[in-house]
Structure 1
C-alpha cells in the first residue's frame, strides 16, 4: 500500500501571533521567577559596599568570592551541614517508604478497618493539637535533644500517602492478581510488583520530603538546645538574625565575639544575608532538575486519576 503523506498546513496569521504572544508571556514569567535567584548570586560576588547600597541590580561589579569562603569558615558550620544532610537523606528514605507502603495498603480491600484508618489519616490534614501538646508529646517520648526528633514526626505525611494511593489505583489490578496466583504474599507483591512501577510518584514524594527536611529549622528551634544537633538552616538563620547586631557589636567594642565579629567587619549585614540565602537554596536548585520529569509525570497521573 502506498502511504499518502498529508502536507503540513501553514500556520495562519492569528496562530503565529498567538504563538509569539504565548512564548513572550512565558519567557517573561520565567525571567520573573529566575531574577530573584540571579539577584542574590550577583550581589554575593560583587563588592560588599556596592551591594549594601543597592547599586547591584543586573551585572556584578568587582567580582570576588570571599563572602562564600568566609561564611563556610563559620564555627559549627561543618557539623550543622552534616546533621542537615543526614536528616535529609534518612528522613527522605523513611518518608518515601512509609508513603509507598501505606498508600499501597489503603488500596487493599482486605485491610482491616481500611476506610476508618484512611479517614482518620485525612482528618489529621485539617486538625492538629498545636505546638504545646506537640512539644509535650515529643518530651514524653524522650525525642527532644535527639537526632530522631527530625525523622520520626515527619515519616507519615497524609498528603504524600494520598498521592501514592491514587497512583497505585491507576496500576492494573491484574498485575497483583497474577503475582498472587503465583504464590506471592502481600509484602512480595509490594516489593516486586508495586514498588518498581511507582517510580514517578515516589520521586515526587522524595522531592517533597527532601525539600521539607532541607529547609526545616523550626523543629530545631522548638525541640533542640544541644548545639551539636543544630541543623544548617537553623545555624544560618541565627547568623542572618545577628547580622546587624554583629556589625554594631564590632563597632562598639572590637573584642567580643571574635569569630563572628571578624565576619561582620569584612562583610556587611546585606552580604551575610544574601550569601547565606544562596548557600541554603543552591543544593535544592541542583537536585530538583534531576527529578523534574518524574515529578511532572507523577503529579499528572495522580491528578487525572483523582
Structure 2
C-alpha cells in the first residue's frame, strides 16, 4: 500500500513539474482574459445602457444624464406600454409572423435541401443553381412591389410569410449538412423499403436538428426585426403593422419634435409632454422587442454552434 501511495505522489509531482506555467503563459493568459472581458463588456453594455434608461427618471433620460447606473428607478415606462395605441396588436402580429414564417422556412429549406442532394432528381443542378442565382440578383424594389400587389399580398398577413419561405442561403447550409450524413444510413433505409418522404421524416429530419436550429435562429431574428415590408406592403392596414414598424413610427415622431424645437417653433406644453413620454416609451419598446431573442438564443446556442460549423465544412 505504501508503495502505491509513493508512486501516486511521485506521479503527481512529475505532472506538476511537467505542467509548470511559464512567464510567457501568464502574460498570454492575462492579455487573453483582458481582451475577452473587454469584448464581452462591449457586447453587453448597449443592452445594459438601454435598460437603465428605461427605468431611470424620464427627465434625466431626456437630457442624457444617465450613463453608467440608473437614477430615480421606476417601472412606469413599462406600465405605460398598455396605453400605446395598437401596441398589443402589433406584438401579436410580430409573434405570429415570427412563429409561422420561421416554421414554413425551416420545413421548406430542409425538404428542398434534401431533394437537391439526390443525384437521381431531374434537373437537380439547374434548380440548385437557379436558387443560388437569386442570392445575387433581384429585380428591384418597384418590380417586387408590383409583383406582390398582383399576387394579392399587399395589406395581407401572408405577405410577411410567403416571400421568405424559400431561402437560398439556408438551403445551401442544409444541403451541405445533409451531405455530411453517412450515405449508408439512407441506403439501409431504402433496402428496408422506405421511400424518400419516409427517409426525410424518419431519418434526415432528426439527424439535421443542429442545422435546422441554426436556420431557425436566422429566420426568427429576420422576421422579428423586419419592418420595411410592413411599411411598404401594409400601408392600408395599420392593424397589420409589426412591432418594429410601430417603433419606427415613434422614432419618426421624436425626430420631428427635435426638428421643430431646433427651428424655434412653438408647441403646446401638453403636446410636448406627450411627445417626450413617447420618447421614453420608444426606449422601453426597444428593450421589449429584443427580450424574446435574448431569451431564446441561449437555449439554441449549442445547436447553433454545431450546425453552423458542420454546415460550413464544404459547399
TM-score by length of 1: 0.91
Pair 1:227 & 2:234 matched? no
Cα drift, residue 252 of structure 1? 2.5
- Distance in 2 (CA, whole Å) between partners of 1:293 and 1:204 is 9
Aligned to 2:248: 237
Pair 1:26 & 2:41 matched? no
**Greater displacement, 47-56 / 213-222:** 47-56
Cα drift, residue 244 of structure 1? 4.7
- Distance in 2 (CA, whole Å) between partners of 1:100 and 1:72 is 39
Give the number of aligned pairs: 299
Over 3 Å counting, the alpha-carbon distance change for 1:61 and 1:76 in structure 2 is: same
Aligned to 1:188: 198
- Distance in 1 (CA, whole Å) between partners of 2:247 and 2:82 is 11
Pair 1:7 & 2:22 matched? no
- Distance in 2 (CA, whole Å) between partners of 1:155 and 1:85 is 17
- Distance in 2 (CA, whole Å) between partners of 1:262 and 1:151 is 39
Residues 116, 128 of structure 2: 8 Å contact kept: yes
Aligned to 1:126: 136
Aligned to 1:44: 54
Structure 2 counterpart SS, 1:111: coil
Pair 1:294 & 2:297 matched? no
Residues 227, 242 of structure 2: 8 Å contact kept: yes
Residues 80, 281 of structure 2: 8 Å contact kept: no
Residues 253, 275 of structure 2: 8 Å contact kept: no
Q: Which has the larger radius of gyration?
A: 2
Residues 240, 272 of structure 1: 8 Å contact kept: no
Q: CA RMSD in A?
A: 2.3
- Distance in 1 (CA, whole Å) between partners of 2:155 and 2:269 is 34
- Distance in 1 (CA, whole Å) between partners of 2:77 and 2:257 is 16
Residues 95, 154 of structure 1: 8 Å contact kept: yes
| Unaligned 5+ runs, structure 2 | none
| Unaligned 5+ runs, structure 1 | none
Aligned to 1:252: 267
Specify which of 72, 80, 96 is matched with residue 90 of structure 2: 80
Aligned to 1:68: 78
Alignment of 1:102-141 (within 5 A): 102-141=112-151
- Distance in 1 (CA, whole Å) between partners of 2:142 and 2:153 is 15
Pair 1:143 & 2:143 matched? no
Pair 1:273 & 2:282 matched? yes
Structure 2 counterpart SS, 1:156: coil
TM-score by length of 2: 0.89
Cα drift, residue 19 of structure 1? 1.4
Pair 1:284 & 2:284 matched? no
**Greater displacement, 238-247 / 275-284:** 238-247
